[in-house]
Structure 1
């Protein structure tokens, strides 16, 4: 399991995003600790991660038959956006659809917002063309708009849609705006970790729900970052040996094999029902 995928808070986010939202939106701390134990995370680590998620507003404590947690009210749109990016179309953008350009200027007295803008635009998959100028395929405009409005950063930013009109070779320009080697390294790590799992599971007639859960949660946790860091650039602008295609194939196969039995396991283990 990749280092980022072993963080208890990341695994908890995956459990909420993929399962708890579909099963009423609330889970008891006892059931969450039991599920995390199946992922080799002990109780104290779960409680510590829950504490951090409460402080950030990700989770809210709510008592029913016992103590449990649901997602904070601001998290619904965040997870909905994640669904669109993670499970939506993985096809490259079309060059003829153009670009969305974000131009921002932040006063020095508010430079913390400048850092936040840079980090969030990077997280959405924008490339940095020049100081204060970021761009991405035009299909990311709705995600960018929602993010800027949600974080109350829209007053600093102008959004444009455009076509490239010159003068450098566009394929060379984008290689300086995005860090292709860093993105490819993460795709390579994902494929190396999970392709053997897909090959092992592929011939099996049925998959045990508990084992499916143990594979699916860390796999999805590791994958979640990649559809953000990779904006899905048009194929003609990518390196000839772009390794995202293989990684996406592995993800899609494992998702198809493991998602439903994993949900069945969570439902059986917790007694929660589909909402």
Structure 2
């Protein structure tokens, strides 16, 4: 998967900024992204776009120019934490949430927005205007509807399945499981890496690619998934990468993200303790996008 500079910057803030007060120096961000072959001009342009979108705001980091997460940016990151790093399959006995909506043609932009947000929460389409997801999605769906002022067009229901068709067959009609399986297989191909790979760029690219998948995966009960479901292998690989790479990648990031680096030939060393403390652990992950 090919990652954009903007996406990689969001990943960097999720992994390394929050425990450091939510701010990173521009110079450090440029050094960090250089390890992923992103040029300075592209970094600065992407940061500007994130600022215009309300994700970042200008600040100073130990006297150096930097950008901090806005309240919106911090919320976007926080909301995806559990889903990305602790995404678990649903229990079939928990039932389902149905989102039933009707939006007139004159408001088709809102209809398009709602469909996109439901897809991003892992919903499948059971019928025109009727979308379905595991019941655990209820609270996130309610929050999304209110955040985007869509609640007046949609009704949510808790439901059990009573159809004659086997449930495992029905889910193949509601979700494009072959497409999702292809994405998981691609993740495995891209990130089943050599043990000697450079930790920082390897870990950042893995997180950047992975963080989209749990938002597209409805988290169906295991017994409803096809045999040899590649999502299981992909999740195992991701968590293996986390155990192997997160700590050394965080140490590298701490050195690169320091507001200033020592002049070659001197012994001055910038403080990296704060940034190092934000090296990824399951309490400080990064989501895919705003809900």
TM-score of the superposed pair, with normalisation by structure 2: 0.85
Per residue, is there more helix in 1 or in 2?
1
> In 2, Cα distance between the equivalents of 1:229 and 1:71?
25
Asked if the contact 1:100/1:160 (under 8 Å) is kept, the reply is yes
> In 2, Cα distance between the equivalents of 1:214 and 1:118?
34
Asked if the contact 1:101/1:136 (under 8 Å) is kept, the reply is yes
Give, in angstroms, the shift of residue 45 of structure 1: 0.8
Q: CA offsets per residue over residues 9-48 of structure 1, 9 Å max, x none? A: 1100100011111222101111111111111100011111
> Which 4+ runs in 1 deviate beyond 4 A?
none
Moved more, 40-49 or 76-85: 76-85
Q: Counterpart in 2 of 1:84? A: 82
Asked if the contact 1:33/1:46 (under 8 Å) is kept, the reply is yes
Q: CA offsets per residue over residues 181-239 of structure 1, 9 Å max, x none? A: 110010000011112x1xx32xx7xx9xxx21111000100001111111110112111
Q: Counterpart in 2 of 1:125? A: 122
Q: Which has the higher contact order (CA 8 A, sep 6+)?
A: 2
Pair 1:136-2:133 in alignment: yes
- Determine helix, strand or coil for the equivalent of 2:170: helix
Q: 2:69 is matched with which residue: 55, 71, 77? A: 71
Q: Counterpart in 2 of 1:267? A: 254
Give the CA RMSD over aligned residues: 1.6
Give, in angstroms, the shift of residue 77 of structure 1: 2.2
Asked if the contact 1:137/1:232 (under 8 Å) is kept, the reply is yes
Q: Counterpart in 2 of 1:160? A: 157
Asked if the contact 1:23/1:267 (under 8 Å) is kept, the reply is no
Residues paired across the two proteins, number: 261
Asked if the contact 1:101/1:159 (under 8 Å) is kept, the reply is yes
Pair 1:38-2:35 in alignment: yes
Q: Counterpart in 1 of 2:105? A: 108
Asked if the contact 2:87/2:214 (under 8 Å) is kept, the reply is no
Q: Which runs of 5+ in 1 are unaligned?
A: none
Give, in angstroms, the shift of residue 97 of structure 1: 0.7
> In 1, Cα distance between the equivalents of 2:248 and 2:154?
44
> In 1, Cα distance between the equivalents of 2:149 and 2:248?
39
Q: Counterpart in 2 of 1:239? A: 226
- Determine helix, strand or coil for the equivalent of 2:71: coil
In the TM superposition, 1:213-252 aligns within 5 A as 213-252=200-239
Q: Counterpart in 1 of 2:244? A: 257
> In 2, Cα distance between the equivalents of 1:57 and 1:25?
14
Give, in angstroms, the shift of residue 153 of structure 1: 2.0
